[in-house]
Structure 1
Amino acid sequence: MSFEPTLPRDTARKLRRGQTEAEQKLWARLRRHQMKGLQFRRQYPIGPFIADFVCLETKLIIEVDGSQHADQTDRDESRSEFLRDAGYKVLRFWNYEVIREIDLVVQRIADALELVPRKIRKQRL
């Protein structure tokens, strides 16, 4: 009998282990504070959804969509609406964009980060 994760945390862990080629390529450019010194997390649970990538400091979510999303635009839009209502900005890219034009995708993310205010951090005394 195989175990199927039921908690969002367990599902996110499973998704991190099974990333697509496009997600791996983008993660290589986002991890370790490479993007403007900001920390991104991958496969991060937010409400009933799991975001592909999120920067909590700027509340920017990046979704990398495969061809199956071409048939679920209504579902994706309701998901994006939920996330926007929660205060997040959502950027969507197709897998082929990330694979073929990674520099352009990274530039679009950088441009979006310029427009999104950072949360003010409380400094420790």
Structure 2
Amino acid sequence: MISRLITLLALSATIPTLASAQCRINVPGVACMTVPVATPPNATERSCRIGVPGTACKAVARTPRPAPVDVGEFLERGEYSMMMNARYYGLPDVRDGWVYMQIEDDIYRVDYRSHEVLERVTDQANRNW
């Protein structure tokens, strides 16, 4: 009985009130108040990246950030995450003794035995990355 009452109270808190529903459908005679919503700082930039129609976008020159590791460098074991589902990210399957490792925001092809960095492959990944 008490659990049903708690569930009913929780559901009633999530159901919009009649007044707020009337404001959304613009019923005459109802006094509504508009509350401005703060726009996140990068909302326009994100809208430009994902191609939202009607968004005024401008080209922003970005300075390339330095790579966290260089090709040919040897990685410390257990320091970075190995990526297990390369196909999900649009990368070729792992083969010939190398694996993909995530280092900061980049993906690298790394020799599994020696942990030598073979190639930076972040630009080959799809939008899931």
Q: TM-score, normalised by structure 1?
A: 0.23
| Higher Rg of the two aligned structures | 2
Q: Structure 1 or 2: larger strand share?
A: 1
Higher-RCO chain (CA-CA 8 Å, sequence separation at least 6)? 1
Q: Structure 1 or 2: larger helix share?
A: 1
Q: TM-score, normalised by structure 2?
A: 0.23
